[in-house]
Amino acid sequence: MSTSTSHYNLTKPANGENYSLDVWNGNMDKIDAGIWAGLRYRGTLSSSNDLNNITTDGLYYIQSTAPSNSPSGQTVIWSIFLQFSPSSTMVHQFIFRPAGGKFFMRERSGPQSAWLDWMMFTGTTV
């Protein structure tokens, strides 16, 4: 007998059970709707915002002044901030394109004292 996943209620056929394309397509529709709902544009962030207090998944625009708890020592020209929470306890945050073409990421889980520091990646050609 099939079971379901806990977050998107995707159908998981049991071992030995025939797998239907209708089940596959239904799962794909749920994934598509979940991603689309979670990663919508949510607005502009400024120095009056605090990245530690952003609780809604989505895309945000940062224009010229960095919000609190951004990576320190970085000049912001413009950036895109993405928050994605794959579970109720884990949050991934990304900042794309501060000055110099860098990319930053951090993972958050549990209390603020347990959050990882921002990690910087530079745009090198491969």
Taking the complete model, does pTM exceed 0.85, yes or no? no
> Helix, strand or coil for residue 43?
strand
- Residues 6 or more apart from 123 whose CB is under 8 A from it? 101, 102, 103
User: Positive or negative CA dihedral for 47, 48, 53, 57?
Assistant: negative
| Residue that has been written with the tokens 């959050």 in this structure | 115
| Residue that has been written with the tokens 């990304």 in this structure | 94
Whole-number CA gyration radius for the chain? 18
Of the two residues 92 and 22, the one the predictor is more confident about is: 22
Round to whole Å and give the CA distance between 25 and 36: 16
pLDDT of 98 over the 70 cut: no
pLDDT at 48: 92
- Count of CB atoms within 10 A of residue 72's CB? 8
Q: Per-domain residue ranges for the chain?
A: 3-37, 41-122
